[in-house]
C-alpha cells in the first residue's frame, strides 16, 4: 500500500489521481489533500471521502505520505517543490515544471543540482500503445531508429514522445517550424463536448527537429487529441522497418518481409465474462504490453498516470528515475523553441542546457 498526498486536490488534473485510487484501493491510498479554498475542500471531502487541509504545513502535521503529488501550476508549484525538498519529502510534480526559461534555470539551481527527490508526472510515453511501440523499438527488430513523426499532443508532451522514440536526451537540435491557419468544425475541449455546430479558427503547427543523425517531426492542431474529426498519428522509421500507427513492417535478414499489427486485446467483449478492461497489446505472437493494473476499469490516460504513481512509489523505495526534472525541463524548453521558430520563421538552434547530464 502506497500513501500519497495531493496539493491542489480540487483541480482537473488532480482528480485523475483520485479516480485511480478509487479504482485501485489495494495499491494506493490518499493521505490528505491541500485545497486552499475551504468550501471546495469541504465539497471534495464529501465527494471523495478524503481529508483536506488549507496549507501544506497543516497537512504535514496530520499526515505521513510516502510522497506528495504537486498538482498546481506556475510559481505555486515551484514554491511547493522547494518546501517539500527542504522537508526531505519526495514529490511528483505536474508538467510543465516552470513557466519559462529563467524559471527552468532557477529550477536547476534550486532543485536539480541539490538532487531533490522529485519526478514529473509526464504520462504520454506510458500510454499502453506508446509502451508497446517503445518495447518494439527496444527489441531491435526495427534496427537503428532514424525518424519519428508525432501528432499526439501539444508542445512538450509531443517533444517527450519524439525524444523517447528517437532515443535522444539533451543533444543540440536545429528546429524549423511553421503554422498553417484554416477553419474546422468545433469539437470537444477540456470543458466538454460542443454545444453548437459551427466553424472555428484552427492552427496547425509543424516543426522539424534535426538532431543531426535523427529527425523528429512535430505535427499538432489545438484540441486535435479530443477532436471527433481529426486523428492522432505516430510513426517510427528504423533501418529495418517502421511502425505506422498500429501497422508494423519489418524486413528480416532472410529477406522475408513481416506485415504485423499492434493489436489491442480487451476483455469483456462479446461473450467474454471476465469484466471489461484492457489486457494488453499483441504484435504477432508477442505481448508488447501487458496491463499491470488489470482488471481495474481504467482508460488509457488513467493507466498511464497510474504507471506514474507506481513508478514514483518504486523510485521512493530506491528504484530508478522514470521522468526527471531535467527531462521535463528539456522537453518544455524545446517546446518553447518550437514556438519561437514558428514566430520568427527562422531556423532555431537549441544548444545543450545547464540541466543536461
Question: Which domains are assigned to the chain?
Answer: 2-120 (3.40.50.720), 125-298 (3.30.360)
Q: Is the pLDDT of residue 288 over 80?
A: yes
Q: How confident is the model at residue 106 (pLDDT cuts 50, 70, 90)?
A: confident
Q: Return the pLDDT at 115.
A: 80
Mean pLDDT of 121-137: 97
Q: Is the pLDDT of residue 97 over 70?
A: no
- Lowest-confidence range among 33-47, 93-107, 138-152, 307-321? 93-107
Q: Return the pLDDT at 83.
A: 93
Buried b (16+ CB within 10 A) or exposed e, 188-210: eeeeeeeeeeeeeebebbbbbbe
- 41, with CB counted inside 10 A (0-12, 13-18, 19+), is buried
Cell digits of residue 247? 501497422
Q: How confident is the model at residue 1 (pLDDT cuts 50, 70, 90)?
A: confident
Peptide bond before 91: cis, by omega within 30 degrees of 0?
A: no
> Whose CA is closest to 348, among 207, 214, 221?
207
Query: Positive or negative, the Cα torsion across 191, 196, 202, 204?
Result: positive
SS3 letters across 202-255: EEEEEEEEECCCCEEEEEEECCHHHCCCCCCEEEEEECCEEEECCEEEEECCCC
pTM for this predicted structure: 0.94
Instruction: Count other C-beta atoms under 10 Å from residue 253's C-beta.
Output: 6
Cell digits of residue 82? 522547494
Q: Return the pLDDT at 73.
A: 77
**Do the Cβ atoms of 258 and 230 come closer than 8 Å?**
no
Q: How confident is the model at residue 40 (pLDDT cuts 50, 70, 90)?
A: very high
pLDDT, averaged across the chain: 94
DSSP structure string for 163-199 = HHHHT--S--EEEEEEEEEEEEE---BTTBS-SS--E
Q: Return the pLDDT at 10.
A: 74
Q: Is the pLDDT of residue 72 over 70?
A: yes
Cell digits of residue 329? 525541463
Q: Is the pLDDT of residue 75 over 90?
A: no
Q: How confident is the model at residue 21 (pLDDT cuts 50, 70, 90)?
A: very high
Query: Positive or negative, the Cα torsion across 241, 167, 332, 128?
Result: positive
Q: Is the pLDDT of residue 50 over 80?
A: yes
Mean pLDDT of 208-214: 97
**Do the Cβ atoms of 298 and 23 come closer than 8 Å?**
yes
Q: Is the pLDDT of residue 109 over 90?
A: no
Q: How confident is the model at residue 62 (pLDDT cuts 50, 70, 90)?
A: very high
pLDDT digits (tens, 9 = 90+) for 227-273: 999 999 999 999 999 999 999 999 999 999 999 999 999 999 999 99
Q: Is the pLDDT of residue 280 over 80?
A: yes
Distance CA 216, CA 177 (A): 12
DSSP three-state, residue 308: helix
Mean pLDDT of 264-287: 95
Amino acid at each position: 500500500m502506497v500513501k500519497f498526498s495531493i496539493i491542489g486536490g480540487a483541480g482537473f488534473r488532480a482528480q485523475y489521481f483520485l479516480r485511480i485510487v478509487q479504482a485501485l484501493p489495494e495499491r494506493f491510498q490518499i493521505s490528505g489533500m491541500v485545497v486552499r479554498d475551504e468550501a471546495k475542500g469541504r465539497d471534495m471531502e464529501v465527494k471523495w471521502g478524503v481529508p483536506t487541509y488549507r496549507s501544506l504545513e497543516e497537512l504535514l502535521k496530520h499526515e505521513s505520505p510516502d510522497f506528495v503529488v504537486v498538482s498546481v501550476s506556475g510559481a505555486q508549484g515551484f514554491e511547493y517543490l522547494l518546501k517539500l525538498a527542504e522537508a526531505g519529502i519526495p514529490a511528483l510534480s505536474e508538467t510543465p515544471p516552470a513557466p519559462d526559461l529563467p524559471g527552468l534555470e532557477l529550477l536547476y539551481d534550486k532543485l536539480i543540482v541539490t538532487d531533490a527527490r522529485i519526478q514529473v508526472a509526464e504520462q504520454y510515453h506510458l500510454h499502453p500503445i506508446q509502451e508497446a511501440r517503445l518495447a518494439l523499438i527496444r527489441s531491435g527488430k526495427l534496427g537503428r531508429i532514424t525518424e519519428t513523426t508525432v501528432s499526439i499532443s501539444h508542445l512538450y508532451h509531443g517533444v517527450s514522445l519524439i525524444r523517447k522514440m528517437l532515443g535522444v536526451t539533451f543533444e543540440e537540435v536545429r528546429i524549423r517550424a511553421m503554422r498553417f491557419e484554416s477553419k474546422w468544425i468545433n469539437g470537444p475541449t477540456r470543458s466538454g463536448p460542443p454545444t453548437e455546430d459551427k466553424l472555428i479558427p484552427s492552427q496547425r503547427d509543424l516543426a522539424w527537429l534535426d538532431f543531426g543523425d535523427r529527425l523528429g517531426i512535430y505535427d499538432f492542431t489545438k484540441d486535435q487529441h479530443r477532436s471527433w474529426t481529426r486523428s492522432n498519428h505516430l510513426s517510427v522509421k528504423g533501418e529495418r522497418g517502421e511502425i505506422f500507427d498500429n501497422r508494423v513492417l519489418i524486413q528480416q535478414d532472410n529477406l522475408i518481409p513481416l506485415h504485423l499489427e499492434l493489436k489491442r486485446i480487451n476483455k469483456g467483449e462479446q461473450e467474454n465474462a471476465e469484466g471489461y478492461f484492457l489486457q494488453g497489446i499483441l504484435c504477432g505472437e508477442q505481448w508488447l504490453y501487458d496491463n499491470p493494473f488489470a482488471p481495474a476499469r481504467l482508460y488509457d490516460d488513467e493507466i498511464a498516470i497510474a504507471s506514474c504513481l507506481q513508478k514514483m512509489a518504486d523510485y521512493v523505495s530506491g528504484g530508478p528515475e522514470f521522468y526527471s526534472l531535467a527531462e521535463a525541463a528539456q522537453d518544455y524548453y524545446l517546446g518553447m523553441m518550437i514556438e519561437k521558430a514558428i514566430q520568427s520563421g527562422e531556423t532555431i538552434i537549441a544548444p545543450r542546457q545547464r540541466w543536461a547530464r
